[in-house]
Amino acid sequence: MSTHTLPVRHLLLALAVVAIWGSNFVVIKVGLAHLPPFLFAGLRFTLVALPLVFVLQRPAVSWRNLAGYGALIGAGQFGLLFFAMRGHISPGLASLVIQMQVFFTIFLSMTLAHEKVHLRQWSALLLAATGIGVIAWHTDGSTTVAGVALVLLAALCWSGGNMVGKRAGRVNMVAYVAWSSLFAAPPLFILSLLFEGSDAIVAGVRNADWATWSAVLWQSIGNSLFGYAAWGWLLARHPAATITPMALLVPVFGMAASAWWLNEAMPLWKFVAMGLVMAGLGLNFRGSKPKA
């Protein structure tokens, strides 16, 4: 495990991001009450890109890099996540399963950036994977095997986006997220038209209320512009194996918010699954200590 240390201000920034990402799963559920998932995700990234691309200079990275990040985070991570959360997995469990991106990112780092992976990280992955297995075993009306698989695929796309963003280097991350969103929104709208249909799109927009549009704005401003810009900024300055394990706190916020605001049931097996995944994430994070 890396012994790289984080300055306190960088640690606090990472904590703010994961708090927003955790509680955001409740916000997603609010938006999905009226909007089809691909349309919802497309609107989110449209508002990320516009009007910022007209006022922020394009980062000094290739169009290929921008397109890769936008496609992986937009159509990949959030398209799949939103689709899964529309009846295939509960918000609390989605916030837990998506954290497998920690391990996907580390192993992509091992393959692409030649970062070393230690025995502790393999042991951590085994623990977390056991927790995911508990979730898959206890499928019910709110969570299905397909839902778990979709969120795992979304986590893989997130990890791919992490690696693409890391290759961008030290750029203006707000501009980077805004410009890359130009490549996230169009495929999501195409997917919406193909799989959700024009009738569902019109009905979703027509039935959307103030809570729905607030959810779209929160997704755009809080989650994307602040969250992903800050996360990418941190990844550009620290090893992936140091930053990504901070996401272990996302399910704490996610499951707590879902139980509080949405009355999501919390049977014993969910605590067991969360304990296993959190233990794996915590074991992986052990050894990366913040500077005083």
42-85, pLDDT tens digit by residue? 999 999 999 899 999 999 999 999 999 999 999 899 999 999 99
User: What average pLDDT does range 215-234 have in this prediction?
Assistant: 87
Q: Establish if 244 belongs to a structural domain.
A: yes
Q: What is the extent of the structural domain holding 48?
A: 8-285
Q: Establish if 291 belongs to a structural domain.
A: no
Q: How many CA atoms lie within 13 A of 66 on its CB side?
A: 22
The tally of domains found in the chain comes to: 1
Question: What is the pLDDT of the chain when averaged over all its residues?
Answer: 86
pLDDT at 189: 97
109-131, pLDDT tens digit by residue? 777 766 666 677 778 778 888 88
Q: Establish if 64 belongs to a structural domain.
A: yes
Distance set, CA 127 to CA 39, 122, 287 (Å)? 36, 9, 17
pLDDT at 289: 46
CB 263 within 8 A of CB 206: no
pTM, rounded to two decimals: 0.82
125-178, pLDDT tens digit by residue? 788 888 888 887 776 667 888 999 999 999 999 999 988 988 898 888 889 999
- DSSP code for 117: -
Q: Establish if 263 belongs to a structural domain.
A: yes
Q: Establish if 99 belongs to a structural domain.
A: yes
Q: Establish if 3 belongs to a structural domain.
A: no
pLDDT at 117: 62
Return the percentage of the chain with pLDDT > 70, whole number. Answer: 92
